[in-house]
């Protein structure tokens, strides 16, 4: 599966379009991480636990999107966009969407 | 001694602010040194926000790369920011925070692309989002997430 966030795949030709595909995941941080983050908040700086959590969540969203594209018979997803939405206290939704295509 | 005990909460919050100020500014200085050093190292690696077009047969493969960072501000800066809210205007304390986060995210993306053998990155996109407060506390956590993503391109070597 080739993934790009531009309108085409460089060096390849798009032969078929399958429309949009998307994947999303809602993640909550567990209490231990929340506690550590609130301690870290005193001195500021990077919250490694959250960075990792969001990175994993985003990979999961991309994974689901690729799965959907594969079911349609696509071998690439172009023009991918990411988005984040906080839907409730302590939970974040991460989504990825793009256009499924077949390239040669 | 009695006065000390009576004003314990005030002393604690003052202490937290002091810790925030010293540890926070030390951490920021350290982070900036690291950012500047790594930016110098990856200076030769081209990154463009435009969608680049290549001649036929020039590109071997392409893939997505991304870098993200969650960064939070210290107590002292939050206090400064809150004070600033009274008068309005530039909030310098927050500016450096966002600046650090954004540069760090771009650096991580570049490093990932280099590690995977990319020659350049096209169509760089930056996104910023705030995280809500934690589930067990109502207070705002005051942290931002920045993500940088783009398409890395590997050229044919000829």
Name the phi and psi angles at B53, rounded to 5.
Answer: -110, 135
B157 near A CB under 8 A: no
Nearest CA to B31 out of B69, B67, B66 is that of: B69
For the segment A66-104, what is each residue's pLDDT rounded down to a tens digit?
999 999 999 999 999 998 887 776 677 889 999 999 998
By residue count, chain B amounts to 158
Report pLDDT for B39. 93
From B127, B77, B70, select the one nearest A55 (Cα to Cα). B70
Domains of chain B: 2-155 (3.30.110.70)
Q: Which of A45, A55, A84 sits opposite B129 (nearest CB)?
A: A84
How confident is the model at residue B75, as a pLDDT? Answer: 77
Give the ipTM of the model, two decimals please: 0.83
pLDDT in tens, B36-48: 999 999 999 999 9
- Give the minimum alpha-carbon distance from B87 to chain A in angstroms, rounded to a whole number: 24
pTM for the structure as a whole: 0.85
* Chain B residues in contact with A11 (beta carbon < 8 A): 54, 56-62
A51 band by pLDDT with thresholds 50, 70 and 90: confident
Q: What is the pLDDT of residue B134?
A: 46
Query: Distance of CA B36 to CAs B33, B61, B68, Å?
Result: 5, 30, 18
Q: In sequence order, which residues have a C-beta less than 8 Å from that of residue B14 and are 6 or more positions away? A: none
Q: What is the pLDDT of residues B75-112, one digit of tens each?
A: 788 788 778 878 888 888 788 888 999 999 999 999 99
Percent of chain A with pLDDT over 90: 48
């Amino acid at each position: 599966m080739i993934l790009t966030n531009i309108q085409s795949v460089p060096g390849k030709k798009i032969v078929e379009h399958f429309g949009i595909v998307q994947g999303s995941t809602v993640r909550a941080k567990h209490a231990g991480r929340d506690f550590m983050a609130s301690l870290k908040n005193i001195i500021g700086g990077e919250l490694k636990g959250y960075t990792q959590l969001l990175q994993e969540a985003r990979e999961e969203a991309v994974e689901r999107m690729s799965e959907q594209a594969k079911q349609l018979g696509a071998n690439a997803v172009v023009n991918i966009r990411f988005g984040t939405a906080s839907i409730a206290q302590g939970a974040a939704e991460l989504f990825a969407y793009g256009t499924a295509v077949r390239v040669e | 001694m009695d006065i000390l005990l009576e004003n314990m909460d005030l002393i604690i919050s003052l202490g937290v602010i002091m810790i925030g100020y010293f540890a926070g500014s030390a951490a920021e200085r350290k982070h900036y040194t690291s950012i500047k050093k790594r930016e110098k190292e990856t200076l030769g690696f081209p990154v463009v926000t435009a969608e680049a077009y290549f001649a036929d047969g020039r590109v071997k493969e392409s893939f997505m790369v991304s870098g993200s960072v969650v960064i939070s501000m210290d107590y002292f800066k939050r206090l400064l920011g809150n004070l600033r809210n009274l008068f309005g205007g530039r909030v310098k304390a927050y500016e450096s925070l966002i600046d650090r986060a954004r540069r760090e995210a771009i650096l991580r993306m570049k490093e990932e692309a280099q590690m995977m053998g990319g020659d350049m990155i096209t169509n760089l996109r930056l996104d910023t989002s705030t995280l809500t407060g934690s589930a067990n506390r109502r207070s705002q956590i005051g942290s931002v997430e920045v993500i940088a993503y783009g398409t890395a391109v590997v050229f044919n070597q000829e």
